[in-house]
């Protein structure tokens, strides 16, 4: 009887969200092959939920617009709209370009699913997110279990950055991590759905009222930290944020941006990563708090580098990481 009741309730939730308007926003920049694979993986979700998809092209200099538009025409996908921009506005600005028009329309969506182009959606991923949101009206956002192509889970549910979290992130010492477990920004992904601080913007479903309450993404973040800032603002006004492992999405990590793409041979971090980090801490904690966070990470990282050199551990950090951090966080205005 319990199983039948649960099945009946699940059916009721599906009927509830089947009447909702759901729009998917994908921001592409010079990765047409990835965006096309992502669109193909969305076909089952379109059939089951009736969602509509917007592909925002961030002024790509390659053949992205031509390739994606040709695919839409050849497949007869009337559920996809392509929006080419004249300027690269970054992740926040690219999403906002569509969000503004959607939210101001006469029939605004009930939910918006922010989705990276470097993702492959597993069947039922959107339905699982919608089930959670309908079951928890206090939830402003829900995110997927991100995973490697072989199914290995990635860190997907996070804690808000803090001074202690920055120190733990820099020092990378097991004893310290155990002592500061409550402040680790990227803990192991939970096995069950649970409330969390923030989720990756690679697959993030947001309730329309969430945007109406806290506003759009902050466009001062060109790339990175924009979803952390958005979900912190939502948290501060009482919206919950939920991690939903039943929603599975393959994330080809950083294939779209090129940052952190190769964990064995990492690239030098771009200036906008440091600027986004600095803006996040200054905006949400003030300059003094940002300085404390910078010093905590710097002390931890220097200790880690000394231990790495003494113990002969492999160097997996981005090139010039320490100097770039000092230059961007302490020397540049």
Q: What pLDDT, on a 0 to 100 scale, did the predictor assign at position 256?
A: 62
- Model pTM above 0.95: no
Count the neighbouring beta carbons within 10 Å of the beta carbon of residue 68.
23
Count the neighbouring beta carbons within 10 Å of the beta carbon of residue 105.
11
Residue 79 has pLDDT above 60, yes or no: yes
pLDDT 10s digits, 172-227: 999 999 999 999 999 999 999 999 999 999 999 999 999 999 999 999 999 999 99
pLDDT confidence bin for 73, thresholds 50/70/90 = very high
Dihedral sign computed on CA atoms, order 204, 164, 252, 196: negative
Domain 2-154+189-251 architecture: Alpha-Beta Complex (3.90)
Tokens of 216: 């759009």
Tell me which range, 13-17, 42-46, 310-314, is most confidently predicted by mean pLDDT. 42-46
Rounded average pLDDT over 104-133:
97
pLDDT 10s digits, 266-321: 889 999 999 999 999 999 999 999 999 999 999 999 999 999 999 999 999 999 99
CA atoms within 13 A on the CB side of 212: 10
Higher pLDDT, 181 or 8: 181
Q: What pLDDT, on a 0 to 100 scale, did the predictor assign at position 263?
A: 60
Q: What pLDDT, on a 0 to 100 scale, did the predictor assign at position 266?
A: 84
Tokens 């097991």 belong to residue: 174
Q: What pLDDT, on a 0 to 100 scale, did the predictor assign at position 83?
A: 97
Distance between CA 53 and CA 298 in Å, rounded? 42
Tokens of 312: 């002969």
Residue ranges per structural domain of the chain: 2-154+189-251, 163-183+262-333
Among the ranges given (49-58, 64-73, 179-188, 308-317), the one the predictor scored with the smallest mean pLDDT: 308-317
Residue 15 has pLDDT above 60, yes or no: no
Distance between CA 238 and CA 232 in Å, rounded? 10
* Residues with Cβ within 8 Å of residue 76, at least 6 apart in sequence: none
Residue 2 has pLDDT above 90, yes or no: no
Residue 11 has pLDDT above 80, yes or no: no
Rounded average pLDDT over 119-133:
97
Distance between CA 291 and CA 330 in Å, rounded? 8
pLDDT confidence bin for 28, thresholds 50/70/90 = very high
**For strand 240-251 and strand 198-199, is the pairing parallel, antiparallel, or unpaired?**
unpaired
Selection from 106, 107, 81, 105 nearest residue 25 by Cα: 81
**Four-point Cα dihedral 89, 95, 96, 97, nearest 10:** 70
Of all residues in the chain, what percent carry a pLDDT higher than 70? 91
Q: What pLDDT, on a 0 to 100 scale, did the predictor assign at position 261?
A: 52
Q: What pLDDT, on a 0 to 100 scale, did the predictor assign at position 265?
A: 73
Q: Are 119 and 100 in contact (CB under 8 A)?
A: no
Q: What pLDDT, on a 0 to 100 scale, did the predictor assign at position 111?
A: 98
pLDDT mean across residues, the chain: 93
Q: What pLDDT, on a 0 to 100 scale, did the predictor assign at position 255?
A: 62
Distance between CA 239 and CA 209 in Å, rounded? 10
Rounded average pLDDT over 255-276:
78
Higher pLDDT, 253 or 103: 103
Residue 260 has pLDDT above 70, yes or no: no
Distance between CA 324 and CA 246 in Å, rounded? 39
Q: Are 242 and 210 in contact (CB under 8 A)?
A: no
């Amino acid at each position: 009887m319990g199983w039948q009741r649960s099945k009946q309730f699940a059916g009721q939730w599906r009927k509830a969200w089947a009447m909702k308007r759901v729009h998917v926003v994908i921001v592409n920049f010079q990765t047409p092959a990835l965006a096309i694979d992502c669109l193909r993986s969305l076909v089952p979700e379109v059939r089951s939920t009736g969602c509509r998809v917007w592909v925002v092209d961030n002024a790509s200099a390659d053949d992205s617009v031509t390739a994606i538009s040709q695919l839409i025409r050849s497949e007869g996908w009337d559920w996809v709209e392509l929006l080419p921009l004249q300027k690269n506005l970054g992740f926040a600005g690219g999403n906002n370009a569509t969000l503004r028009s959607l939210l101001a329309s006469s029939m605004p969506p009930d939910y918006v699913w922010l989705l990276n182009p470097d993702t492959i959606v597993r069947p039922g991923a959107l339905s699982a997110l919608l089930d959670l949101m309908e079951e928890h009206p206090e939830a402003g956002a829900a995110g997927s279990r991100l995973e490697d192509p072989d199914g290995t889970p990635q860190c997907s549910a996070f804690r808000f950055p803090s001074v202690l979290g920055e120190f733990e992130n820099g020092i990378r010492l097991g004893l310290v991590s155990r002592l500061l477990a409550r402040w680790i920004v990227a803990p192991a992904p939970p096995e069950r759905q649970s409330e969390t601080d923030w989720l990756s913007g690679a697959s993030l479903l947001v309730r329309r009222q969430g945007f109406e309450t806290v506003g759009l993404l902050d466009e001062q973040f060109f790339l990175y930290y924009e979803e952390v800032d958005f979900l912190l603002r939502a948290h501060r006004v009482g919206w919950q944020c939920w991690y939903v492992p039943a929603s599975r999405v393959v994330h080809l990590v950083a294939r779209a941006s090129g940052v952190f793409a190769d964990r064995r041979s990492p690239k030098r971090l771009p200036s906008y990563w440091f600027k986004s980090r600095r803006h996040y801490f200054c905006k949400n904690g003030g300059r003094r708090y940002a300085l404390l966070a910078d010093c905590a990470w710097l002390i931890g990282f220097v200790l880690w580098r000394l231990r790495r050199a003494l113990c002969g551990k492999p160097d997996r950090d981005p090139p010039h990481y320490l100097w770039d951090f000092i230059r961007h966080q302490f020397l540049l205005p």
